[in-house]
Structure 1
């Protein structure tokens, strides 16, 4: 399917054509494991395979579009210029969106920083990149302290 520059539209399922509603059902059956393959899913949904393939990449259940995953990270950073900037740059390179930053006043050369980040677009799970974050110059500790949706 060709990528459209048009924005998504939120439409109630009651006004959708039957083929699109059945495509949604077939996709649900596949995701839930109630159908083992596309052939079985379209049969159960009462849909042709050609209709399924026509619409499958263009129609999504609303809850499938919401993939936000909020992670809270606690950091202890060395109090020197550029350390927080380096951390934020690393997170950006991981496609992690920073939502909030809370930093304490530095004491004895260290500052505590708490970040809330959205990892929905990240290529890797937080557990995979947190060790690399902890190994950055000036980062004395990096821990995941909370995960939510």
Structure 2
């Protein structure tokens, strides 16, 4: 697992500041036309060498998710109609549910695994996950896989 091409999904709070700043520079470059890399790195407060060192290694999750399958696992309190609420939220973000499996609840807690296709018209997957994760019945939501959809 020490391969330079390994990928990890990491929450923002676990990232070093320099990596967050690299994403910020990329955002500035995309949103402010005509801004040079020197200007964007100065705005973000990092050196150009730091930007160049990490720019190919970090990107927001949603940038790479279009046209892919993302598999989520959720642990939730068992409540009548809650699975339907989750499916509705996924639909609201225009993601296509490919597979869904809910375990039999043990001590009123169920595990749900959902694979979704992130289409071109799908809204921000990160925001969808945060919306679902904010519900009181949800204990956690984790991304367990992200892969290229078959063509």
When normalised by structure 1's length, the TM-score is 0.52
Q: Deviations over 1:5-40 (max 9, x none)?
A: xxxxxxxxxxxxxxxxxxxxxxxxxxxxxxxxxxxx
Match of 2:98 in 1: 99
For the aligned residue pairs, the C-alpha RMSD in angstroms reads 1.3
Shift of 1:138: 1.8
3-state SS of paired residue (1:91): helix
C-alpha separation in 2, matches of 1:98 and 1:85:
12
Do 1:130 and 1:142's aligned partners in 2 also have CA atoms closer than 8 Å? Answer: yes
Give 1:142 deviation, angstroms: 1.0
TM-superposed CA distance for 1:123, in Å, is 1.9
Distance in 2 (CA, whole Å) between partners of 1:78 and 1:89 is: 17
CA distance in 2, matches of 1:136, 1:85: 14
Which residue is 2:116 aligned to? 117
SS at the partner of 1:98?
Answer: strand
Report what 2:75 is aligned to. 76
State the Cα distance separating 1:103 from its structure 2 match. 1.2
Q: Shift in Å at residue 85 of structure 1?
A: 0.7
Q: CA deviation at 1:71?
A: 0.2
Q: Is the 8 A contact 1:78 1:110 kept in 2?
A: yes
Flag as ranges the 4+ runs of structure 1 deviating above 4 A.
none
Q: For structure 2, list consecutive stretches of 5 or more residues without a partner in the other structure.
A: 1-65
Structure with greater Cα Rg: 1
TM-score, normalisation: structure 2: 0.51
* Cα shift at 1:105: 0.7
SS at match of 1:95: coil
Secondary structure at the counterpart of residue 73 of structure 2? strand
Q: How many residues are aligned here?
A: 82
